[in-house]
Amino acid sequence: SSQNLSEEFAEAARQLKKEAPRIQFGKIDVTHQHDLRKEFNIQAFPTVKFFVNGSREDPIDCKGVRKASTFITWVKRRTGSSTVLINSTDQAEAIIKADDFAVIGFFRELHNDSVEVFCETARDVPEMPFGMTVSEDVCANYGIQRNSLVVFKKAKPVHNEVLEDGRQNKLDLTRLIKTFTLDLVTEYNIETSVKIFDVPVENHILLFTPTNSKAFNEIYENYQSAAAEFRGKILFVLVDTDEARNGRIFEYFRIRDIDVPAVRILNLTSDARYKMPADEVTVENIKEFCQSYLNGKAKQHLPSEKIPQDWDKMPVKVLVGKNFNSIIF
């Protein structure tokens, strides 16, 4: 909520006052400051912007940051070094074991395009530690070739991405790293929903099924198997249809009890929805559905209400998806 964010923001300001007195924190109620709201194009609340070197031109948006500790890391990485330079295996171990996740770049040299993109990415992912190394000993210790990005989860490497100079994209790396902070399949609930929508992966696939059904284990295993192949491209979400608190998401996708198990893809940018053509939730069907969607061949699903009996009785006609085309066009 806005109130929680405001408190965390104030806590970050208190902590940074001693450490970095040159960084000033302020808050504005834009309901009374219409000129400022217009000047900085404030669309959503709360919005946090970072102004650099006394300039009010092009402030940097601070998105998805919700905790005081993360605010502090975000600001520090914007004003100083965004990654720790690792010179020894002990140093690497300390970073890897300090948190649930750690990201380390193993490089041939400290100045190339890949390093630049890596450091830029670190600025936008303050939730976890970033380190980089050019040490042969450290690379040899983990058996990792140079120019690789490795995500460690609870001290174990869970993903190794080979970086090619000049080919990296900051958004792609951010997407990849943030996807690894979620499970292979993330169950949708009040706690995880914030995290799910924070990950910069615009394609979400959702499996709607009761988790206590006899067929659930097999369905879930198939879903998980397919998820491994599309990590970083499509975010796999599980929605328990027995959970009453998930009612709003069923309404949004127009899912009824008789429809489950059901699989849908949602594109967050366009809000377009797609329905898996096959009824059976098999590994093959899910993979085929995901691939056809990524190739732009999946048909958009436009759920529609029933045509009301009295839709044409009044001067203003009632339109739904089923009669929209025939009446309008």
Residue 325's pLDDT is what? 61
The set of residues, in sequence order, having a beta carbon less than 8 Å from that of 80 and lying 6+ positions away, is none
Of the candidates 135, 163, 179, which is a domain's last residue? 179
Highest-pLDDT range among 140-144, 168-172, 200-204: 140-144
Structural domain contains residue 300: no
- Both 95 and 156 in one domain: the answer is yes
- Both 99 and 153 in one domain: the answer is yes
d(CA 220, CA 6): 39
d(CA 150, CA 159): 6
d(CA 253, CA 302): 10
Q: Which residue has the tokens 């970033």?
A: 130
- Both 228 and 290 in one domain: the answer is yes
- Both 58 and 95 in one domain: the answer is no
- Both 125 and 172 in one domain: the answer is yes
CB-CB contact of 234 with 294 (8 Å): yes
d(CA 111, CA 183): 33
- Both 197 and 225 in one domain: the answer is yes
Residue 196's pLDDT is what? 83
The set of residues, in sequence order, having a beta carbon less than 8 Å from that of 28 and lying 6+ positions away, is 36
pLDDT digits (tens, 9 = 90+) for 115-130: 999 999 999 899 899 9
Of the candidates 179, 204, 239, which is a domain's last residue? 179
Statement: residue 89 has pLDDT above 90: yes
Structural domain contains residue 290: yes
- Both 189 and 291 in one domain: the answer is yes
- Both 145 and 247 in one domain: the answer is no
**Residue 64 token pair:** 């998805």
> What range defines the domain where residue 5 resides?
1-79
- Both 102 and 144 in one domain: the answer is yes
Of the candidates 79, 109, 125, which is a domain's last residue? 79
- Both 163 and 204 in one domain: the answer is no
CB-CB contact of 301 with 264 (8 Å): yes
Structural domain contains residue 318: no
- Structurally, the chain folds into a number of domains equal to 3
- Both 27 and 46 in one domain: the answer is yes
Structural domain contains residue 302: no
- Both 207 and 267 in one domain: the answer is yes
Structural domain contains residue 210: yes
Statement: residue 329 has pLDDT above 70: no
CATH number reported for the structural domain that contains residue 158 in this entry:
3.40.30.10
Residue 41's pLDDT is what? 85
Structural domain contains residue 109: yes
d(CA 28, CA 79): 23
